Amino acid sequence: MKKDIHPKDYRFVVFKDMSNDYAFLTRSTASTKDTIKWEDGKEYPLVKVEISHMSHPFYTGKQQLVDTAGRVDKFRSKYKKHTESKEK
């Protein structure tokens, strides 16, 4: 294993899921300019994330439904003349 390839400046950082305001404290080397006051009263660097295990469909079991009916209708209307000629 190579020596001196891992960062040494680990510190406590708060990661906050912006879609549902879930936050957790962990050690990280992620750099950020924002800070947040945590439950213990101390101030920690804040990293804002768009999705976490609390909002990702794989972990929550909730899938977003995509409106495919509009796509199917658009496809059928686009190729309507081709399908009608084959039916006759």
In a domain, 79, yes or no: no
| Spans in the chain with pLDDT lower than 70 | 56-69, 83, 85-88
Sign of the Cα pseudo-torsion (21, 27, 31, 34, in order): positive
Q: Is residue 84 part of a domain?
A: no
Domain annotation covers residue 74: no
Predicted TM-score of the model (pTM)? 0.61
Whether 86 is covered by a domain: the verdict is no
HSE value, Cβ hemisphere, 13 Å, CA-based, for 35: 6
Give 61-78 pLDDT, tens digit per residue. 666 555 556 777 777 788
Predicted pLDDT at 34: 95
Tally of domains in the chain:
1
Domain that holds residue 21: 11-62
Residue 58 placed within a domain? yes
Return d(Cα 34, Cα 87) in angstroms, integer: 64
* 81 within some domain: no
